[in-house]
Amino acid sequence: MENFIELQIIDAVRGLLLGKVNELLGDLGFFIPLIEFGNYNGTDVVVPMVSLSTCERSEKDRLILLDAYSVSITFSLPDTEENEFNCYAYSAVVGKALELNPTLGGIVERAVITGKKYIEPKKQGCGQEWQLNITLRVTVETIRN
């Protein structure tokens, strides 16, 4: 089952978040919850959602045999005073980690950030969450028959 490129892309993005992104967060010099995956609750870690969909390929992509995927990384953070700042910190370190590893360890041809969306709670103090949605465009060489 690990032969599917979609699974490899999701695993590579999660590996980037657990590895280099957490390392960069630790180097910032102040406490920002680290990234984990699993059934965690609390304020010591954050569990982002990673989802993948295919993108429409441009004519150039078709000619040079590239498949394109869109990967969304969504961070949901409780409405606290520091979590607006944390959204910006996560955004910055994900960008830096991709700059340092644009091929996700050789799994893809290139992964680039195409969008960042910061969503604040509609009403402060009512239990809603801050959200950060980072969108990546990932290209992979098409397997030739």
Tens digits of residue pLDDT in 66-119 = 788 999 999 998 877 788 899 999 999 999 999 999 999 999 999 999 999 999
- pLDDT value of residue 68: 87
Angle at 105 between CA 35 and CA 11, to 5 degrees: 50
Write the pLDDT tens digit of every residue in 10-63. 999 999 999 999 999 999 988 999 999 988 766 788 999 999 998 776 776 666
Phi, psi of 72 (to 5 degrees): -110, 130
pLDDT bucket at 145, cuts 50 / 70 / 90: very low
Q: How many CB atoms lie within 10 A of CB 131?
A: 16
Q: What pTM, to 2 d.p., does this model score? A: 0.87
Tell me what pLDDT residue 143 has.
63
Strands in the chain per DSSP E: 34-35, 45-46, 49-54, 66-78, 110-119, 129-141
Alpha carbon 83 to its chain's center: 17
CATH 3.60.21 fits 5-141, yes or no: no
CB atoms within 10 A of CB 127: 8
Break the chain into its structural domains and give their ranges: 5-141
Start-end of H helices in the chain: 5-16, 22-26, 59-63, 83-100
With bands split at pLDDT 50, 70 and 90, how would you rate the model's confidence at 128? Answer: confident
CA 113 – CA 115 distance, rounded (Å):
6
Q: And the tokens for 64? A: 């040079």
Please tell me the distance from the alpha carbon of residue 105 to that of residue 12, in angstroms, as a whole number.
7
